Amino acid sequence: MPDSLYLATNENATGKRMVALGVMELAARRFRRVIFFRPVVRDSADEDQSIRLMRSRYQLPASPQQMFGVTRKEARQMLAADRYDALIQRIQQKFKSLQESADFAVVEGTSFQGLATEIEFELNADIAVNLGCAIMSVYSAANRTLEESVQSIRIGNDSLTDHGGQLVATVVNQVEPEKQDALRSAYSVAGLAGAAPIYMLPEEPSLRQPTVREIQVGLGASVLGGDESTFDREVARLKVAAMLLPDFLERMQAGSLVITPGDRSDIIVGCALASLHSGSPSPAGLVLTGGLLPPLAVRRMVNPTSGLPILTTKVDTFTAATMASNVRAEIGEHSPRKIESALGLFERSIDIEDLAKRLEAPGVQRVTPMLFEHSLIQRAREKRVRIVLPEGHDPRILQAVDVLRRRDVADIVLLGDPEKIRGAASQVGVMLPELDAFDANGNAPKKKRGSEGTPTVEIIHPPSSPLLASFVEEYYQLRRHKGLTRDVARDRMQEVSYFGTMMVRRGLANGMVSGAMHTTAATIRPAFEFIKTRPGINCVSSVFLMCLKSGVLVYGDCAVVPNPTAEQLAEIASCSADTASQFGIEPRIAMLSYSTGESGHGEDVERVRTATAMLKKARPELLVEGPLQYDAAIDPSVAAAKLPGSKVAGRATVFIFPDLNTGNNTYKAVQRSANALAIGPVLQGLRRPVNDLSRGCTVADIVNTVAITAVQAQASQSIALDPVPPHNDEESDS
C-alpha cells in the first residue's frame, strides 16, 4: 500500500499548500506517526512556510533540517553541473532517513519559483518515483477556459505517469462553481478519469486576501496600535483615503485596509469609530504613511477603545499602496483563520473517505483525540442545526463563531446588544454578517451574505426582541403552578440564559451552549424548568470526554449529581453509555469504587454493586463491570490479577464515579497531570441539548462543545416536549 503521498503541480500559485494541509489533516487522523517533507525549499527550512505550518499545527517531532532535501540554490548548482541523478539521490537519502520513523508521509513538491522551470515538473515526477510516493497532481483553473484546463491536466498527468508515477487523484483548484460539472464531464470524455478521480475546489476569496500582519511584514511597517488578534484579519481591499472624511466614509467597505498620511487625524478617528459602530462597514486596519504620526491626544483616544490595528511606514501613500497590493496571501502558522477556511473548503469539496480508501489507510481500531475532534465536526456537518450562544459579548465566543462558520459546523444565534457584540467582534478582528432578526412569529431571518450552504449568524437582543412577549407568556403558563407571576416571568425571560433556553424549547434553536461568563447553575436551571428530562430519565447528569494520547474516555458524573443513589448511578451509567456510542466510542462501563469485585464491603461499595446489578438487568446488552478500582478498570495487567476473564476490566472506556467529589477531582487530576483535553461537561438526559462551558474555557473548548451540542441536537429532534398548559382566563391574573 502507498505509505506516502507526493503533491505535484505544474505552476506557481495553484493552492498546493492548502491541499497539503488538507491531506495532512486526513493523514494525522488515520495514522499514528505522520511526517511532512519538502524536497526543495527556497532559502532554509527554518523559513519555509509549509514546514513551519505543519510542525506547528501537528506538533511534528522532526527538526526543520530533517524535513527538507535541498535549498533552491543547491538544486540550481547541481542541475547546472549536470548532477541531476545526484540531486534526486540526495533528496531521497534525506527523505528515507526521516521516513523510518513514520507510518505515512506527505510530501509537498516544488513551487515553481526560481528553479529550472522548463524541467521542474519532470523533476517532481522523478523525485516522487524515487521516493516511492503515490502522486496527487494539483492544478489551477483560474483564468483558464475549459479546454485550457483539460489540456493542462492531460499534459501534466501524462508526464507524471510517463515517468513511472502512480497517480491516485487529481485536484483542480479555483474552479468557478458553475463550471464544475462541465469540467468533470470534459475530464471524463478526455479519458482522464480512468487514471485517477478528479476533485474540484471552488475559489475561496478569503484565502487570496492577505492579513494585516502579512501586509505589515511586506511593508516593513511598525505597529502603532491594535490588539494582537486583530492582525490576523483578512484585508478584502485597499482604500487610499485622500478626500474629506464624510466623502470617504460613503466609500468605505468592510474589510478595507485604509492607507492615509499619518497627519490625517480626521480619517484615523473616523476609521476607529467605524470599527465600533455596527451600522458602519468596519475597516480591517490603518496604514499611516510618510513617517507622520497623529497627535498624542488622537492616539490615546483611538488605541485603547477601537482595537483597530494601526501601522506606520516612512514611505509615501502611493508607494505604500503599491507595495501592499503586491503582498501575497499565505496559509501560515500565524494565520489560524485561513487554516480553518482552507480545511473547511477541502473537507466540503473532497470526498475524504474515497481519498482515504485510495491511500489504503488502515482502519482505526481506537478513537484517537484528533480523530474524535474530526468526527465531531463531520457529524455536526451531516445535518446542520442552529445553536444559540447567550454570551454574545464574550471575545472567546466570537472567535469560536468565526471558526464555526469557516468550518461549516452550525448556524449560530448570538444573544446580546448588537452594538456591543459588533464592537467586541471588531476588537478581536471577527467580521459578522449583517442579518435580519427573527420576527414575532419566530420566523428565522433570511441570509444576506454567502452562498446557500454558508452558515448564518443571527444577533438577538432579548429585551427588544419581538419574540419576548410570546416567550414570557409561555414561560408563565408553564410555571404559574409554581407561583410564578407574569412580572417575574418577564424579568427572567430578559436574561440571556432563559431567553436562549426558550428558543431551544420553541425549536428556534436546536441547542444551547453557555457558561463562559455564567455559572453552571445559571446555565442549566432554565433547562430543568421547561426543557426537562427525556422519557424514562429521572435525573440530568453529565460526562467529560477525556482526550488522552491513548484514546478518548468518558467520565461521568463529574459536574451535576453530588451524591447519587444506586438508581441514579445506574441511570448515569446508562446515559453515559449512550453518549459514548453517539460519539463513536464503544461503551465498556466500569462502575468505580475503592474495591474490585467481591474484595470489599461497606455502604459505598454496596451502592455501586447494587447499581451495577440494576444496570445489567435494565440494559443486558451493555458490557458493564463493578465495583472496580480505577487501576483495574484501565490497566490490563492489573485487571488480569484482580479480575481475570472480565470483558471490561483493563479495557474500560466509560468510567462511572461513585460521587461528584471523586469524579470532579479525578477528571481534573487526569486533565492536568496527563495534559489531556477535557471536553465538557456534556449534559445528558435532557429532551433538548443544553451544555455548559467552564468560565476558563478556550476558543477550542467552545468549538468542540458547540459541535457536540449539534450532534446531540440531531439525535433529539424527534423527542416531544411537554405541552403548554391550556390558558385559563380566570387564573390568568392570579
Could you read off the pLDDT of 118-157 as tens digits, one per residue?
Answer: 677 888 888 988 888 889 999 998 888 888 888 888 888 8
User: 229: pLDDT confidence band, cut at 50, 70 and 90?
Assistant: confident
Q: Which domains does the chain have, with CATH numbers?
A: 4-204 (3.40.50.300), 212-325 (3.40.1390.20), 372-530 (3.40.50.10950), 541-685 (3.40.50.10750)
The pLDDT, as a whole number, for residue 365 is 43
> Cβ distance 177 to 320 under 8 Å?
no
Tens-place pLDDT, residues 103-122: 899 999 987 766 666 677 88
Q: How far is CA 730 from the centre of its chain?
A: 53
The pLDDT, as a whole number, for residue 188 is 77
**Dihedral (CA of 234, 236, 242, 243) sign:** negative
Q: How far is CA 595 from the centre of its chain?
A: 41
Tens-place pLDDT, residues 673-699: 988 888 888 999 999 999 998 888 888
User: 611: pLDDT confidence band, cut at 50, 70 and 90?
Assistant: very high
Please give the average per-residue pLDDT across 76-96, as a whole number: 89
Report how far residue 586's alpha carbon sits from residue 367's, in angstroms, rounded to the nearest whole number.
Answer: 9
Please determine, for residue 590, whether its predicted confidence score (pLDDT) is greater than 70: yes
> Cβ distance 450 to 341 under 8 Å?
no
Report how far residue 661's alpha carbon sits from residue 563's, in angstroms, rounded to the nearest whole number.
Answer: 8
Computed over every residue of the chain, the mean pLDDT equals 86
In the sheet where 677-684 sits, what is the strand order?
A: 623-628, 588-592, 654-656, 551-556, 541-548, 677-684
Please give the average per-residue pLDDT across 713-723, as a whole number: 76
The pLDDT, as a whole number, for residue 117 is 62
- Short-list 261, 251, 258, CA closest to 272: 258
Please determine, for residue 310, whether its predicted confidence score (pLDDT) is greater than 60: yes
The pLDDT, as a whole number, for residue 621 is 95
Cα distances (angstroms) measured from residue 282 to each of 208, 329, 425, 564: 19, 20, 10, 52
The pLDDT, as a whole number, for residue 121 is 80
Beta bridge partners of residue 545, listed in sequence order? 554, 679
Please give the average per-residue pLDDT across 602-613, as a whole number: 91
Tens-place pLDDT, residues 529-556: 998 888 888 989 999 999 887 778 999 8
Report how far residue 78's alpha carbon sits from residue 620's, in angstroms, rounded to the nearest whole number.
Answer: 70
Report how far residue 176's alpha carbon sits from residue 170's, in angstroms, rounded to the nearest whole number.
Answer: 17
Please determine, for residue 425, whether its predicted confidence score (pLDDT) is greater than 60: yes
Tens-place pLDDT, residues 326-379: 998 888 888 888 888 889 889 888 888 888 888 764 443 445 566 577 778 888
Report how far residue 406's alpha carbon sits from residue 400's, in angstroms, rounded to the nearest whole number.
Answer: 10
Q: Angle between the 16-30 and 369-382 helix axes, to the nearest 10 degrees?
A: 110
Report how far residue 182's alpha carbon sits from residue 146's, in angstroms, rounded to the nearest whole number.
Answer: 8
Cis peptide preceding 557, ω within 30 of 0: yes
The 3 state secondary structure assigned to 468-509 is HHHHHHHHHHHHHHHCCCHHHHHHHHCCHHHHHHHHHHHCCC
> Cβ distance 471 to 486 under 8 Å?
no
The DSSP H or E segment spanning 571 is: helix 566-582
> Cβ distance 415 to 389 under 8 Å?
yes
Report how far residue 577's alpha carbon sits from residue 585's, in angstroms, rounded to the nearest whole number.
Answer: 9
The DSSP H or E segment spanning 71 is: strand 68-71
The pLDDT, as a whole number, for residue 676 is 84
Neighbours of 281 (CB within 10 A): 17
Report how far residue 677's alpha carbon sits from residue 369's, in angstroms, rounded to the nearest whole number.
Answer: 8
Provide the grid cell at 592: 468505580
The pLDDT, as a whole number, for residue 105 is 92
This prediction has a pTM of 0.70
> Cβ distance 653 to 587 under 8 Å?
yes
Neighbours of 484 (CB within 10 A): 16
The pLDDT, as a whole number, for residue 475 is 94
The pLDDT, as a whole number, for residue 194 is 60
Identity of residue 410: A
The pLDDT, as a whole number, for residue 138 is 92
